[in-house]
Amino acid sequence: MGSKILAVWGGKHSGKTTFAVNLACALSKRNVLVGLISSNLTYGELQTFFGQTVPPKKGLFEALGAENPNTGEMFTACGESKNLFFLSAPTRYSGLLSDTVTLEEAERMLNAVSLVFDVLIVDTSAEVNNPVSGVGLWLADTVFTLHRPSIAAQMWYIAVSDFIRELHLEEKQTHILLSPNGEFDEKTYRHMTGLAFAYELPHIRRAAELENAGTPLYFFRDRSCKRYGKVLEQIAGRIGGGKP
């Protein structure tokens, strides 16, 4: 495989898709060719973040099809950056294709796509039975695991402990803490999990508003987004080197 493969993981509402999208944006500004894949098999959420659409003849299920010789053509170019392409379920998705996806198809697709991009980011699922997510975690060089402090987040991490052990993920994990918005004490969460967090991301009050408007946080330059962007620059610098 030719590219670095990064998986972004976490429980529900952990901010993993927000992080995956904006890390991809940060890396693309370093003259790195970036592919971003959503493992969501029922809803095309990446196009919402970018304010774009994915036509029926492109997207995740076309890329998973074994008869397709050029998987890279199934990606959609991001309008904000010439170096960023994303793969998601089509905008007008219909049918039950998600029930037919196999681990073999997911592995074939990810191996093929890894030859196209310098960096491949897989936005994985909180559920361990998702085939694209599972293969992405297995093939990843680094697994960025996001934590939004809560009892639910701690319970999710305990629940996936056997999965982490079986796939030998612990040595690949980089834990990232999202600053809580007053709903849960950060120190308590650190004590409960006993984890070491390599990075901390600020809480962005307007995140949902901006994302629904198709504006990645990395490209929005208010104070809180700039703070979020600085952390992403640190991470992107370690992955891709160079300067934005």
pLDDT at 238 over 50: yes
pLDDT at residue 123 above 50? yes
The answer to whether residue 58 sits within a structural domain is no
pLDDT above 90 for 185: no
Looking at the domain assignment, is residue 78 inside a domain?
no
Range with the largest mean pLDDT of 49-63, 72-86, 136-150, 182-196: 136-150
Tokens representing residue 196 in the block: 């070491």
Q: How confident is the model at residue 4 (pLDDT cuts 50, 70, 90)?
A: very high
The answer, yes or no, to whether residue 1 has pLDDT greater than 50, is no
Nearest to 194 by CA among 236, 243, 161, 235: 161
Element (H, E) at 210: helix 207-212
H helical segments located in 38-173: 46-50, 60-64, 103-113, 131-139, 151-159, 161-166
- φ and ψ of 207, to 5 deg: -55, -50
Q: Which domain holds residue 193?
A: 4-38+106-240
Res. 3 pLDDT band, cuts 50 70 90? confident
- In this predicted structure, the answer to whether residue 5 has a pLDDT above a threshold of 80 is yes
> Is 73 among the domain residues?
no
pLDDT value at residue 83: 94
Residue 151 in domain = yes
In a domain, 45, yes or no: no
Q: Taking CA 242 as the corner, what is the angle to CA 239 and CA 244, rounded to the nearest 5 degrees?
A: 100
Residue 221's pLDDT band (boundaries 50, 70, 90)?
Answer: confident
pLDDT at 173 over 60: yes
Residue 57 pLDDT exceeds 70: yes
In a domain, 212, yes or no: yes
Of the candidates 113, 100, 39, the residue with the CA atom closest to the CA atom of residue 69: 113
**199: in domain:** yes
pLDDT band per the 50, 70, 90 thresholds, residue 193: very high
Residue 97 lies in a domain: no
Question: Domain total for the chain?
Answer: 1
Q: Is the pLDDT of residue 204 over 50?
A: yes
Q: Could you tell me the strand order of the sheet in which 173-178 lies?
A: 76-77, 84-87, 34-38, 119-123, 4-10, 142-147, 173-178, 199-201
- CATH number of the domain encompassing residue 188: 3.40.50.300
Least confident stretch, 29-43, 61-75, 79-93: 61-75
pLDDT higher than threshold 90 for residue 68: no
